[in-house]
Amino acid sequence: ETGVTQSPTHLIKTRGQQVTLRCSSQSGHNTVSWYQQALGQGPQFIFQYYREEENGRGNFPPRFSGLQFPNYSSELNVNALELDDSALYLCASSLVDESGTEAFFGQGTRLTVV
Amino acid sequence: AQSVTQPDIHITVSEGASLELRCNYSYGATPYLFWYVQSPGQGLQLLLKYFSGDTLVQGIKGFEAEFKRSQSSFNLRKPSVHWSDAAEYFCAAHSGAGSYQLTFGKGTKLSVIP
């Protein structure tokens, strides 16, 4: 039990639609990151939010966007869905400080685009 | 470019046998290193981490890993595998305190023969 919860657990969308995935981080964690894990692959970093500001982004187009809220929740939004967006989306929360720390992952949202 | 490599896609071992999963990294400086385990359709659970200090790191579920700077490796070991260890294992790294962009390897699937 990591204390990080994601919703929904599964989702089916049609190509071209928009989707919002949600994550509730551990209390006190100031950083949330989102990862995309395609079938049979390792997770790929999408972006990171620190104190409600995006402060790192991987190789994903602008139609992937996010928000982080003061209540330790966050969202991943994907516009104009493509078939290749089908994947497990993982949220990770962490407390970033001078000593470095670890990420706590949620169970993920399985997105299928048809 | 920063990268993490897991050379073995799939490993099969007999229950009770020892296990070693390989991980190599390519970073400008020594990164922070992690091993995660993922059961089918689930999120990622942290097994162990290396930030600095003792190069032999103990983790949960009887796993350990050894950091070898000269070989840019961080191999995961377990002296006696249990059937419940069957899962996908991911090695990951990030560049240091204040940054939490994890780079994952592609994973090693572990099968355990009873």
Identify the CA nearest to B90 among candidates B80, B104, B78, B76: B104
pLDDT tens digit string along B19-43?
999 999 998 888 899 999 999 878 8
Per-residue pLDDT tens for A20-66? Answer: 999 998 888 888 999 999 998 999 999 999 888 998 899 999 999 99
Give the pLDDT score at B1. 78
Q: Are residues A96 and B42, on separate chains, in Cβ contact within 8 Å?
A: no
Which residues of A fall within a CB distance of 8 Å from B45?
2, 105
pLDDT tens by residue, B45-60: 999 999 888 999 999 9
Interchain CB contacts (distance < 8 Å): A and B: 72
- In Å, what is the CA distance from A105 to each residue of A23, B6, B102? 10, 21, 12
Question: Does the pLDDT at position B13 exceed 80?
Answer: yes
pLDDT at residue number B98: 60
pLDDT of amino acid A29: 84
| Mean pLDDT over each residue of chain A, to the nearest integer | 91
DSSP string for A9-53 = SEEEE-TT--EEEEEEPPTT--EEEEEEE-TTS--EEEEEEETTE
Average pLDDT over every residue of A99-111: 85
Q: Which residue in the set A48, A56, A100 is minimally distant from B51, CB to CB? A: A100
Q: Which of B67, B80, B88 is nearest to B24 (CA)?
A: B67
